[in-house]
Structure 1
Amino acid sequence: MLTTAPFTELAAQMTGRVVTASDSDWDAVRQAFNVTADLRPAAIALPRDVDDVVAAIAYARAHGLRVAPQATGHNAKPLGTLHDALLVDVRALQEVAVDPAARRVRVGGGVKWERVTPLLAEHGLAALHGSSPDVGVAGYSLGGGMGWLARKHGLQASSVTAIELVTADGRFARVDADHEPELFWALRGGNGNFGVVTAIEFAVYPVAQLYAGTLFFGLEQAGAVLCAWTALLPDLPDEMMTWIKLMRFPDIPDVPAEVRGQAFTIVFGAFLGDEEDGRALLATLHELGPAVDTFAMAPPGVLGDMAMDPNDPLPYLSATALLDELPDSGVEALVAAAGADSGSTLTMVELRHMGGALARRVPGAGARATLPGELGMFSLGVPLDEASAVTVQAELDVVSRAVAPHKVGDYPNFVEADTDARGFFDEDTWSRLRLVKALYDPSDVFRGNHPIPPADVRSL
């Protein structure tokens, strides 16, 4: 049973801090990246090392609290208020070590991609990071991790080689393919349901240069650009990853003057090849006459900011879906929902080309090894008050209905709502995840952002 505790005992056991509602920086510390998430845990532990994590978990268990692991505050909204939980935030675990010869990287649980990708670029290496340098490596990896090189190299979870964590019984463990392989399997896709991750190691790939950039078209060209883009997809090699966004830039000083307050259809691409071949693959898009073309040969470090994702916390509402296709009728429905004449205020509707290695299961992969579908959709709007939040949600619902006939699933890292996580997995994977949960956390101490309940082993 939950008990009231002043947390002074835990604070005395840690070298890091324990923050409660009585502290002056409580609101700043509990703020998630999406500021519409109102996390109000019993307290927040900010460990500085593994021993602090062990102490925090032991204290939570002794006082009837659950434990919610967190690092960078992304995808926090599904956690709920956390009134019965100790939030263990590992943002201070900032080790970064690159082994260029072995093509391996080890990072602490709180490290963001912005600290990793520049170091790799110096050695002609690239990681399977996503669209924002502000995202944490650990959380991104535990949920799958779909980035710019995913059609060639798959999900980031499949490149993870070892994970260090503290389990529910307070034990520090290093797991990999040979040491506690079932837990290693479950962690790679099971999010924060199995322990507090303190470090993660992963493979990286030789990429000295690639052909990458953007094509800017007017938003009124969305239908023509979408049709041309979807027609290209079946013939693109795995070395080419392309995205498309219907994007409205807000009229605020933080936005570059050349796009501020304007709306565009933007094609993004990253090609593991040379400029001649890359340009030929995108020829039909170039023929549509983009207003801006930034494609060029560049080091992989350019991928970190290419998507133009915000790096600072902001309020937003979102919707997502994995799609099997988007035929011309689907393009027409999407443009009607979010195009230039739709009246929509949504900041972004994004489609990512999937397939390739994202659809192929590799030996030794984890619980999240593949993603269904050919396209990943993510739409986002920024509400400024309660009234605009109602409008944004209605507009997101219109986009979701437009693509609903083609929906085949969801990508958990994009789902920012309280959702039954079994829908993210096939029946066998879900059952296996629950068995691993029962083995390592039978009392359901850990509250991941998409919870996996332990199996009832008494009925087996």
Structure 2
Amino acid sequence: MTTTPTSPAERLRDLCGGRVHLPGDPGYDVARTPWNLAVDQRPAAVAVPHSAAEVADVVRAAAAAGLRVAPQSSGHGAGPFMQRDLGDAVLVRLHELTGVTVDPAARTARVLGGTLWQDVVAAAAPHGLTALHGSSPDVAVAGYTLGGGLSFYGRRHGLAANSLRAVEVVTAEGSLVRATADDHPDLFWALRGGGGSFGVVVALELDLLPYADVFAGMLLWDRERAPEVVPAWAAWTREVPESVTTSLRVMSFPPLPDLPPFLSGRQLVVVDGAVLEDDDRAAELLAPLRALGPEMDTFARIPAAGLTGVHMDPPAPAPAVADHAVLAELPEEAVAAYLGAVGPGSTTSLLFAELRHLGGALGRPAEGGGVTSHLEGAYALFCVAIAPTPEAAAQGVADAAAACAAMAAWTTGTHVLNFSDVPVDLATVHSDRYERLRAVRAAVDPAGVFLAQHPVD
């Protein structure tokens, strides 16, 4: 007797060794949940492949069933899917497709599609190497790098997307394609900053950096010192060389027993990052900030692998909402607006309002780069609120938007895909390159199989 599937997604149930979960299945809720717990994804099915071949099987079966395919690795940046209907889509979760192979002679790594940065850093460290990783150890390499990738090595070495040598991607017809500067160059160009409309990325090959150790750490003050610290940091960033990449955050922590005492219940100003200089030169460059008398100063020579812990990003999945903007400059008036929004006396619900210093190699177009090879702006503003309840989420969205609105006079209008909690209009961000992006999409996915967080329509 032949059983007729009750829904198109039933046709996928036996794929991936049975690791396809449909609504009502015992494993569905766990499989559909991203790292950002505030995002309630409800796809037609969730597939958890362990190989590129299994990814290809899922893509072919989904297309044949009239379903779309939404790729996702860790789900840190799942926010845009809050505004997308996934009812006709198969969510392809790559978090179990992991692995790293390091070639120390070539200073490269091949990374499978769901691999986290902490695993790449750990694999590279015994060879005296590291990568253009982000500030959090458990962010997946693929989404971060293909979205641009802002690193504490960035002002010296540029966006992480520029470190890519090859991208292995399953296309809409279920073919595995290796895109490089020489093979499928248009696809290689589009993948680096063009959103997820071109396929499921199952592996990346990237250049590594020759750093066994780095001078890095943080400086911490009470938030009451913000009117002194923030303008001093802003002035300092206008003078430091490209070897220095830092961020400044005004942070507010709830009184939780699992937080260390220097954070629990505190409102703080924190400057952190890396200085790619010898110890004496690094100390010379940091002297103006140290002269402000921070209550904590951890800047020192550390193993390069330790840089992923400097930013104190949450170590486990959490519910969060966010907003962001890119600033062309940070004059005194902008500093005053920032302090008015999140400084002493403000009642914002934000966990943090962060200013990341851009410029240097981050601001220069990279030779042979992809659609996003640099960022036009001097600072990135990133505002995040913890959202354990719908009411907290609504307040966090409003407060993050208000902080960004306070800085509107200095914004560039562009976006950092890694920071965007809503779908980005790529036609605006890539205005002079968007038609080329559309042509690539039409060539590799003419039927529109792939559902991206930041789509090319």
TM range (shorter): over 0.9
Query: Following superposition, which runs of at least 4 residues in structure 1 exceed 3 angstroms of deviation?
Result: 6-9
Does the 8 Å CA contact 2:79/2:420 hold for their aligned counterparts? no
- Residue in structure 2 matching 1:240, options 239, 244, 249: 244
Query: Between the two proteins, what is the percent identity of the paired residues?
Result: 42
Q: Distance in 1 between matches of 2:54 and 2:273?
A: 43
The farther-off stretch of 348-357 and 189-198 is 189-198
Q: Given the alignment of the two structures, is residue 68 of structure 1 paired with residue 70 of structure 2, yes or no? A: yes
For the residue of structure 2 that corresponds to 1:189, the secondary structure is: coil
Residues 59-458 of structure 1 aligned to structure 2 (within 5 Å): 59-79=61-81, 80-408=84-412, 409-425=414-430, 427-453=431-457
String of CA shifts for 1:416-453, please: whole Å, max 9, x gaps: 1133222222x221111111001111111111110011
Give the residue type in structure 2 aligned to 1:45.
A
Does the 8 Å CA contact 1:127/1:203 hold for their aligned counterparts? yes
String of CA shifts for 1:77-122, please: whole Å, max 9, x gaps: 2122311111111222112101111100011101000111122222
Does the 8 Å CA contact 2:329/2:379 hold for their aligned counterparts? yes
For the residue of structure 1 that corresponds to 2:127, the secondary structure is: coil
Deviation at 1:6, TM superposition (A): 5.8
Instruction: Report the TM-score, using the length of structure 1 for normalisation.
Output: 0.95
Does the 8 Å CA contact 1:317/1:393 hold for their aligned counterparts? yes
Does the 8 Å CA contact 2:102/2:124 hold for their aligned counterparts? yes
Q: Distance in 2 between matches of 1:218 and 1:184?
A: 46
Does the 8 Å CA contact 1:7/1:18 hold for their aligned counterparts? no
Give the residue type in structure 2 aligned to 1:21.
P
Deviation at 1:148, TM superposition (A): 0.8
For the residue of structure 2 that corresponds to 1:82, the secondary structure is: coil
The runs of 5 or more residues in structure 2 that have no matched partner are: none
Q: Distance in 1 between matches of 2:321 and 2:48?
A: 28
Deviation at 1:39, TM superposition (A): 0.7
Q: Distance in 2 between matches of 1:358 and 1:341?
A: 34
For the residue of structure 1 that corresponds to 2:433, the secondary structure is: helix
Deviation at 1:67, TM superposition (A): 0.6
Does the 8 Å CA contact 1:378/1:414 hold for their aligned counterparts? yes
Does the 8 Å CA contact 1:412/1:424 hold for their aligned counterparts? no
Does the 8 Å CA contact 1:411/1:424 hold for their aligned counterparts? no
Deviation at 1:288, TM superposition (A): 0.7
- Residue in structure 2 matching 1:27, options 16, 21, 29: 29
For the residue of structure 1 that corresponds to 2:314, the secondary structure is: coil
String of CA shifts for 1:372-431, please: whole Å, max 9, x gaps: 100011011113323333332332222112111100021111111133222222x22111
- Tell me the C-alpha RMSD between the 2 structures: 1.5
String of CA shifts for 1:283-338, please: whole Å, max 9, x gaps: 11111110011011112111111111112221111110000111111111111111
Instruction: Report the TM-score, using the length of structure 2 for normalisation.
Output: 0.95
Q: Distance in 1 between matches of 2:91 and 2:391?
A: 31
For the residue of structure 1 that corresponds to 2:43, the secondary structure is: coil
Q: Distance in 2 between matches of 1:195 and 1:373?
A: 30
For the residue of structure 1 that corresponds to 2:109, the secondary structure is: strand
For the residue of structure 1 that corresponds to 2:398, the secondary structure is: helix
Give the residue type in structure 2 aligned to 1:53.
V
Deviation at 1:255, TM superposition (A): 1.6
Give the residue type in structure 1 aligned to 2:210.
P
The runs of 5 or more residues in structure 1 that have no matched partner are: 454-460
Deviation at 1:4, TM superposition (A): 5.8
Q: Distance in 2 between matches of 1:240 and 1:16?
A: 49
Task: Classify 1:119/1:14 alpha carbon distance in 2 versus 1 (closer, same or farther; 3 Å).
Answer: closer
Q: Distance in 1 between matches of 2:387 and 2:202?
A: 34
Give the residue type in structure 2 aligned to 1:421.
L
Does the 8 Å CA contact 2:169/2:202 hold for their aligned counterparts? yes
